[in-house]
Amino acid sequence: MARSSRAGGFTFAEAPGRSASAARLLWSAAFDPSVLLAHAGGGSVRDAPAPVTVPWLAVGGGGRLHAVIGGAHHGVRVDIIGHVRTPPLERLIFPFTVTIAPRQLAEFRRLVALARGHPLMARADTRRLNRFVLALRVIDALGEGASLRTVGEAFVRAGDWPGAGESTKSRARRLVSTARALWIDGPRSILAHLSL
């Protein structure tokens, strides 16, 4: 498979030398519509309520701070514009527009609940994400020269080729089709269609 020229997206890890399976990732709002955009607000820290202590990780760059609040893997991701240090959570201003609000409201609700001391709720729908992960695995298999049958036996049903009524074969075809479309469109296509 040829490399896609449209592949895009950035990940930031606190230790670039660490293997991918052990790295903690942060995504930029430029590529993931569920990342919240925020501006650091003014005001006196003395007026603010006592801060909620939650785990967080932040990486600065390009005049903004990419942060994840509440745990690196399942936390709420925030891009803080015009700030290079982490301000208190109570001082963040979140501008919403009609175009981005539907994708960001669920994340904003998670952040508000976390700020009120509630445990961080999991994202709602992971089935679609799991399908994309499976498609990424199929991309790897196709890159190694896997046939349709190999894809069917490895990712659909082992030992059941072509399946009753060719169900395994049909599912493998759909997986390969999804994988090829994903390869052409790049990672941005995954993030644009997820409603996490």
DSSP string covering the chain, please? Answer: -PPPTT----EE-S-TTS-GGG---EE-TTT-TTSEEEEE--S-GGGSPPPP---EEEEEETTEEEEEES-TTTSEEEEEET-SS---GGGEE----TTTHHHHHHHHHHHHHHHTTPPPPPPS--HHHHHHHHHHHHHHHHHTT--HHHHIIIII-TT-SS-GGGHHHHHHHHHHHHHHHHHHH-HHHHHHH---
Enclosing domain of residue 78:
11-115
DSSP string covering 38-59, please? Answer: EEE--S-GGGSPPPP---EEEE
Q: Residue 10 pLDDT > 60, yes or no?
A: no
Q: Which residue has the higher pLDDT, 43 or 175?
A: 175
* Mean pLDDT over the full length of the chain: 74
Q: Which residue has the higher pLDDT, 48 or 183?
A: 183
Q: Residue 188 pLDDT > 60, yes or no?
A: yes
Residues 100 and 143 in one domain: no
pLDDT attached to residue 173: 92
pLDDT attached to residue 4: 43
Can you tell me the mean pLDDT for 155-169? 80
Q: Residue 116 pLDDT > 50, yes or no?
A: yes
Residues 109 and 38 in one domain: yes
- Cβ-proximal residues to 148 (8 Å cutoff; 6+ apart), any chain: 169, 172, 173, 176
Sign of CA dihedral 57, 59, 64, 66: negative
Residues 66 and 16 in one domain: yes
Domain finish residue from 115, 146, 161: 115
Residues 17 and 110 in one domain: yes
Q: Predicted confidence band at 76 (pLDDT cuts at 50, 70, 90)? A: confident
| Residue 95 belongs to a domain | yes
Can you tell me the mean pLDDT for 43-56? 58
- Pair 193, 156: CB distance under 8 Å: no
Overall domain count for the chain: 2
- Pair 80, 64: CB distance under 8 Å: yes
Q: Predicted confidence band at 83 (pLDDT cuts at 50, 70, 90)? A: low
In the chain, the percentage of residues whose pLDDT exceeds 90 is: 10
Residues 24 and 102 in one domain: yes
pLDDT attached to residue 22: 60
Dist CA 143 CA 76 (whole Å):
34
Q: Predicted confidence band at 145 (pLDDT cuts at 50, 70, 90)? A: very high
Dist CA 115 CA 78 (whole Å):
14
pLDDT attached to residue 195: 46
Q: How far is CA 82 from the centre of its chain?
A: 23
What does the pLDDT look like over 50-67, one tens digit per residue?
555 677 777 777 777 888
Q: Which residue has the higher pLDDT, 127 or 8?
A: 127
pLDDT attached to residue 122: 64
Q: Predicted confidence band at 8 (pLDDT cuts at 50, 70, 90)? A: very low
Residues 65 and 157 in one domain: no
